Structure 1
Amino acid sequence: MFALKKPLESRQHTGSYYAATANWQNCYPPLTSEINADVVIVGGGFTGVNTLLELTERGYSCVLLEANRISWGATGRNGGQILGGIGHSHERFRPQIGETGVRALFDMGVECTDIIRQRVAKYSIGCDLRWGYLDAALKPRHMKEFEADKRWQEQMGYPYTLTLLDREEMRGHIGSDLYVGGMLNAHGNGHCHVLNLCIGEARAAEQQGARIFENSNVIRLVQGNRPRVYTDSGVVNAHHVVLCGNAYLGNLVPAMASRILPANSSVVTTAPLTAQQQHDLLPGNVAVCDPRTALDYFRLTADGRLLFGGLSNYTGREPGDLTGVMRQKMLKVFPQLQDVPLEYGWSGQMGIGINRMPQLGRLDGNVYYIQAYSGHGVAPTHMMARITAQMIAGQAERFDVFTRIKHWPFPGGPVFRTPCFALGMLYYKLRDMF
């Protein structure tokens, strides 16, 4: 039944649908000398590449160091869903950031999707960008949550229309009997080919003078007002450093590592479907997500496959039978795909923080960091990059909102924090069952 494609070793990416259908194979050299720059950025995913682009657009001399390939990590492995919003449940941060801070978070949650919309148009990036998103309710209480969210967003002035759907109305948007209702956002959220978006943004930065180095693993960081970044075979001297490795940064800065945990998510894609099959599954070609902790998310690709993801694993480990487990999850939603083979399957790691709010801040001297999107990063990464670039350029107002939010280290130390967190998340998974 399975006809999985083998990993593309020549690309040095995981064996994903995205890597197999990339618009071009970017091939940047490794760093092999000592160089100088205004800013050096560590990490070549959405956060790092967009920080690079934001700063080069402002005239800074910038270097980006990526340990593997551009978009190699979570950026090139996720479900491709472009969702607005920064973090979760802004109101709980009101004691720390006040009314103006809550308003700022909401406005940035709208702006983050607009950045992608504008960037794709400005640089003519081919990434199969489409608008349309559906929150799918599995239980009546999910509908109550959607209703409350709709009221709050409309009170805050959300600029796009949100439409509540009952069970019958859902059948006009998704070919599954699993859902009791949903909330449609036809124009504010959407989906795209994430690897093509990121490498397109990297090319835009390069064309404006940015220097990009792949296969350049950072092994040492000297902090301070004149920081230095060391790779296996080179050094960058800079006025500013921005750390954007997220779940893949490792223990380069132990204080950062203690506040983030890698969690695994898995994705599969089917073989191309017929036009009728595509229409029967998702007639409006929207991205879909349910509200559980260990959620399902899915959409159609531009070449007519169903891309289906989920299986959130808070131990950070990939399941032994990824395709077998994911196939069963997919068939629970779409049993009509019983005879359709899967052609790609892969996993990636997302960075989880305790409070589910992106972590943005400043270390010793001119060293900044951005991490912990908690599985919701395609659009927010673009916003965090903009805020950090503004901070480096001397505009601290929005950056300061995030520095007032407290982020605690995970309990248990380096050895026990992962199993402790996995045990804690079991409560939420059990709650999803009722």
Structure 2
Amino acid sequence: MSRSGRLCRVVFCALVAGALLFSVLTPARSGELVTLRFSNWHLVEDVWGRSLREAINIFESRNPGIRITPEPISYAEKEPRYQAECAARRMPDVVKLHNFSLAMFFELGCAADLTPFVQRKGPGFLKTWYEFPLKMLTYRGRLMAMPDDFQSIVLIYNQELFRAAGLDPKRPPRTWTEFLEYSRRLTRDVDGDGRIDQWGFSIPASKNPGLPLRIMPIVWSFGADFITEDGRRSAMNTPEFREAFRFIVELATVHKVVPPGVTTFGPQDVRIQMAQRRIAMKIGSAWSYPIVNALNPQLNAAQVLEAAPVPVGRRRITAAWLDAWVMSPHTRYPEEAWKFIEFLTSKEIEKKFFEDNRVISSRKDVNTLPMVRTDKFSRVIVAELEHARLEPFIKEWPEIFDAFATALQEAITGAKPAERALLDAHTRVEEILARRR
């Protein structure tokens, strides 16, 4: 090839590369159809998935130039997949994340700064939302996500099973001592074949992102915590933590008030157990009864199930659930992605999500609607927000809780004595937090 031919080839390749780069980085032109990738674990669920797809249809009908491509993902898979996609600059345009992992995504640079979009809406735009969720979603002075659900964790129980066991369904257990007594009475051989077929309680004790929400209220109420207040040391070696750990483990190993195989259960397994009347109590929140009802409409979950505050130990406390909408930092269409996030967090759609799924909004103007204030589940969940707190907002939190979950499984299965398992977890957490010191 001649020198001039080689030069033309180099120039041509450069022009093609430049055109491709331009197409990736430039925003959509007027009239161009924009496709946004939207990923959310609720898309795999029947009730929630239908609600989200209806919302997408409403959005697309009002925005004919934008198409939403749903990308379902499991609750457990979302963090590792989104991290990998973010590293490859291929993260979906809009995703939903739980507080469990938001700090990690903010620190990794896997969330777009929403501050400029909010500022364009005017100074009063954010006044509609509770201050606490907004504070938790602010990183280095910038708003990195828009809040969605904000609700407390409560005790969900079956009133009919309470009555059958001679318990007053209007008086749920108020302390962990009462809870254990109730659990024993609710663990029964219902069909008389000599084998236990109903248990007082169940918990998803496999390694899954839903476990912290069910464990933290118990640990905290015993006066314990996972890490010290300054976030620099493990607090899993205190007498209070050892007492809480022993209480949780012995529900399975000594009192046997949870179904066998508890270390293999995920949240949906526990919901199925409640739908099938195999358990009387579980820890959950606003999403519990719509999902349980969908699993077994004959249960009539809205009437049969009831919500109550989590039992009290040394202090009255529970966990808060907060999730939020995150925009990919690499989206080609930030304006359209913001328009979709603004739609998802609007009063209209947050009201729809309550009607469909009974989840409590981060918007004050939704939670003051009569339908929310008069709902028997929502009344308890909103009231308990006063006593709720979030898990530690540090990027190491998933690792820290994984150490605890390992110890819990080892202790329940007998792989290690409970004291040894917990000490090993404490040592591992110390090593994790040493990176922060």
TM-score (norm 1): 0.27
TM-score, normalization: structure 2? 0.26
Considering fraction of residues, name the structure with more helix. Answer: 2
Q: Which has the higher Rg, Structure 1 or Structure 2?
A: 2
